[in-house]
């Protein structure tokens, strides 16, 4: 169970890495995303016998819950101080709440699930409960396989349609999909990478127009980045209503008469983006923006895309 706690906290921390700093920085990302959660939990859990699986169910749940919430509050305080000292920026209150909820949900799902498996497995005479347990685990594994299969299908289907900036064929326009913007208005690294890739395409004569799609804040920032790089304003088209990848594809298909477009994003995002664009009738190929992100940030992107692809399919079918 100790090893399981470590793995769960490690995976959960990977989802927080991108929020840690404007520019990915491995040592800082790991220190601010993983260590604050590991140290308080393992210290408190060891001191208060949180790994005593012989405890009655109510005592185990109560003890684990109390120790976890104390440790995660300590972790958030440490993260808040560390981030301010290193980057002179602060974690916002909504961000802290979201992190606590996300981490707690994943941790409790593992903790109490593994405890239930242990208690049922340790009862030699309760065969019905054991069969039910393993049937449930098998069903869960099947659901996981079904959940990840759409993403792998999109990878297989659209890998051949993704190009580098240098090898991209000509198209009418480039659709630049929005990415995160920090609370103080600083563009995230993926957003900068995408705009720079579109600028490169424009300068090489591969496109006639650049369509910037995202939220109002994202499109304004992307427009300014393009203008600062010497792109003419009349070559830019703004879609401030692209609140999701699907919305960006739909808006471009409905509002512009482009015959063929290049979708610009990071590679892990392009598989889903191309599926959605093709689903709404947009003739498109992908252009992979060179990522300055470190491997742990890219891994987080791939993990996110597994669930996002499922949601994308659901939205397409609902239409």
Total structural domains within the chain:
2
Calculate the CA dihedral of residues 32, 33, 39, 40 and round it to 10 degrees.
100
Domain match, 210 and 309 both: yes
Q: Which of 109, 129, 149 is the last residue of a domain?
A: 129
Domain match, 122 and 241 both: no
Predicted local distance difference test score (pLDDT) of residue 14: 66
169-181 exposure pattern, b = at least 16 Cβ within 10 A, e = fewer: eebbbbbbbbbeb
Q: Quick check: is 108 in a domain? A: yes
pLDDT digits (tens, 9 = 90+) for 220-270: 999 999 999 999 999 999 999 998 999 999 999 998 889 899 999 999 999
pLDDT digits (tens, 9 = 90+) for 19-48: 544 455 556 666 666 788 888 888 888 888
Average pLDDT, the chain: 85
Task: Select the highest-mean-pLDDT range: 1-10, 135-144, 247-256.
Answer: 247-256
Greater confidence, 194 or 116? 194
Kindly calculate the radius of gyration of the chain based on its CA atoms and give it in whole angstroms. 23
Domain match, 28 and 125 both: yes
Greater confidence, 229 or 135? 229
- Alpha carbon distance 184, 21 (integer Å): 12
Q: Quick check: is 68 in a domain? A: yes
Q: Quick check: is 307 in a domain? A: yes
| Percentage of the chain exceeding pLDDT 90 | 41
Predicted local distance difference test score (pLDDT) of residue 226: 96
Predicted local distance difference test score (pLDDT) of residue 21: 47
Domain match, 288 and 216 both: yes
Check whether 152 has a pLDDT greater than 80: yes
Predicted local distance difference test score (pLDDT) of residue 210: 97
**Reported confidence tier of residue 18, pLDDT bands at 50, 70, 90:** very low
Among the listed ranges 89-103, 140-154, 189-203, which one has the minimum average pLDDT value?
89-103
Which residues have CB under 8 Å from 169's CB, separation 6+? 163, 206, 285
With tokens 């759409």, the residue in question is: 150
Domain match, 165 and 301 both: yes
Beta bridge partners of 288: 265
Domain match, 82 and 123 both: yes
Beta bridge partners of 284: 261
pLDDT digits (tens, 9 = 90+) for 74-121: 888 887 887 777 667 676 777 788 878 888 988 998 888 888 888 777
- Domain of 247, CATH number, reads 3.40.50.620
Domain match, 186 and 260 both: yes
Q: Tell me if residue 239 falls in helix, strand or coil.
A: strand
Predicted local distance difference test score (pLDDT) of residue 127: 75
Predicted local distance difference test score (pLDDT) of residue 2: 84
Q: Quick check: is 116 in a domain? A: yes
pTM attached to this predicted model: 0.70
Beta bridge partners of 287: 163, 264
Domain match, 117 and 203 both: no
Q: Quick check: is 253 in a domain? A: yes
DSSP designation for 207? -
- Alpha carbon distance 175, 194 (integer Å): 10
Q: Quick check: is 11 in a domain? A: yes
Predicted local distance difference test score (pLDDT) of residue 32: 67
Domain match, 32 and 116 both: yes
Check whether 155 has a pLDDT greater than 90: yes
Domain that holds residue 12: 2-129
Q: Quick check: is 134 in a domain? A: no
Domain match, 191 and 86 both: no
- Alpha carbon distance 95, 260 (integer Å): 39
Domain match, 311 and 245 both: yes
| Percentage of the chain exceeding pLDDT 70 | 89
Predicted local distance difference test score (pLDDT) of residue 185: 81
Predicted local distance difference test score (pLDDT) of residue 286: 96
Among the listed ranges 124-138, 186-200, 204-218, which one has the minimum average pLDDT value?
124-138
Residue ranges of alpha helices (H) inside the chain are 2-14, 26-33, 35-47, 57-87, 93-121, 127-158, 189-203, 216-228, 245-255, 267-279, 295-318
Q: Quick check: is 101 in a domain? A: yes
Domain match, 69 and 210 both: no
Task: Select the highest-mean-pLDDT range: 47-61, 147-161, 173-187.
Answer: 147-161
Predicted local distance difference test score (pLDDT) of residue 20: 47
């Amino acid at each position: 169970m100790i090893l399981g706690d470590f793995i769960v906290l490690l995976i959960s921390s990977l989802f927080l890495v991108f929020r840690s700093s404007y520019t990915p920085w491995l040592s800082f990302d790991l220190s601010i995303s993983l260590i604050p959660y590991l140290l308080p939990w393992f210290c408190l859990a060891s001191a208060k016998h949180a790994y005593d699986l012989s405890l009655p169910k109510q005592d185990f749940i109560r003890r684990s819950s109390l120790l976890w919430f104390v440790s995660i509050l300590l972790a958030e305080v440490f993260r808040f101080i560390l981030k301010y000292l290193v980057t002179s920026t602060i974690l916002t209150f909504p961000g802290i709440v979201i992190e606590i909820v996300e981490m707690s949900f994943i941790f409790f799902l593992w903790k109490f699930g593994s405890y239930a498996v242990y208690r049922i497995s340790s009862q030699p005479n309760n065969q019905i409960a054991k069969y039910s347990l393993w049937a449930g685990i098998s069903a869960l594994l099947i659901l996981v396989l079904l959940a990840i299969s759409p993403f792998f299908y999109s990878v297989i289907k659209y890998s051949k349609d993704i190009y580098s900036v240098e090898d991209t064929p000509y198209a009418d326009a480039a659709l630049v999909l929005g990415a995160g913007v920090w609370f103080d208005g600083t563009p995230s690294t993926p957003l900068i990478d995408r705009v720079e890739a579109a600028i490169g395409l424009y300068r090489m004569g591969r496109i006639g127009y650049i369509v910037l799609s995202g939220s109002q804040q994202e499109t304004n920032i992307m427009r300014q980045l393009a203008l600062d790089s010497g792109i003419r304003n009349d070559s830019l088209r703004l879609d401030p209503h692209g609140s999701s990848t699907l919305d960006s594809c739909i808006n471009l298909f409905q509002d512009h008469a482009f015959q063929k477009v290049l979708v610009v994003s990071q590679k892990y995002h392009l598989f889903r983006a191309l599926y959605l664009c093709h689903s709404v009738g947009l003739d498109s190929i992908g252009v992979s923006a060179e990522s300055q992100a470190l491997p742990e940030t890219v891994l987080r992107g791939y993990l996110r895309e597994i669930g996002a692809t499922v949601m994308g399919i659901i939205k397409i079918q609902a239409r």
